Amino acid sequence: MSKLFSPAKLGSLDLDNRIVVAPMCQYSAIDGSLTDWHLMHLGQFAVGGAGLVFVEATGVEAAGRITPGCPGLYSDQNEAAMARVINFFRNYGAAKIGIQLADFDEKGFVLAATGRLRNDFPFGFHTVCGMSFASLRRFCAVAARWNSSFAPFGPLRRSRSSFMMRLR
C-alpha cells in the first residue's frame, strides 16, 4: 500500500500526509507583497488535501528577488500581505505552510515575461547584491511574531542557497 496519504514527520513538523506542493514562481507580487492571486493560488492547496505547501522563492531584500514580481519580506507591507495568506491556512486549511527563502545574488535577473536573463533594467531593479545576515535575522524575527514556536529547519547560518522555514 502507498504511504502517500500516511502521516509524516519533517524535523519537528508533523504532516497529515506526504503530499508536498513545491514553491512555484507566480511573478504576481506588487512591490514584494503577496496579492489576491497568491491568496487564491496557495489557498486552493491549503484546503485541497496537501500536507505541506511552500510559498514561492521570497527575497529578504528587494534586490535579492528574481524579478520585480517576486515576493519579499523586507517591509511592513510585505509582512502584512504574507500574514494574510498564513492566516488563511490557519483558519481554513489543514495543510502546513512553509517558505522558500531565496537570494538571486549576482547571477543576473530573469525577465518574467520572456525568461531571458537581464541585469540592465532602466527602472532601477537590480540583483547585484547578496542576502545580508541582518536581513535574514529580520526575517526570523518577523516569522517568530507569526508563530511563537517558529524555528528554522536547521541552524541559521550564512549561506547563499535558499532554505525552508516553517511558518505554521
Asked if residues 54 and 98 have their Cβ atoms less than 8 Å apart, the reply is: yes
pLDDT value at position 136? 65
pLDDT value at position 100? 86
pLDDT value at position 167? 44
| Count of the separate structural domains present in the chain | 1
Q: Has residue 2 been placed in a domain?
A: no
Section 27-40 average pLDDT:
95
Print the domain residue range for 53: 18-166
What does the alpha-carbon distance between residue 16 and residue 89 come to, in Å, rounded to a whole number?
14
Residue 114, domain CATH: 3.20.20.70
- Which of these, 43, 38, 39, 41, lies nearest to 70 by C-alpha position? 38
Q: Has residue 9 been placed in a domain?
A: no
Q: Has residue 73 been placed in a domain?
A: yes
Asked if residues 52 and 11 have their Cβ atoms less than 8 Å apart, the reply is: no
Beta bridge partners of 8: 15
Q: Has residue 74 been placed in a domain?
A: yes
Q: Has residue 121 been placed in a domain?
A: yes
Q: Has residue 42 been placed in a domain?
A: yes
Q: Has residue 3 been placed in a domain?
A: no
Q: Has residue 65 been placed in a domain?
A: yes
Residue 21 has pLDDT above 60, yes or no: yes
Q: What is the mean pLDDT of the chain?
A: 75
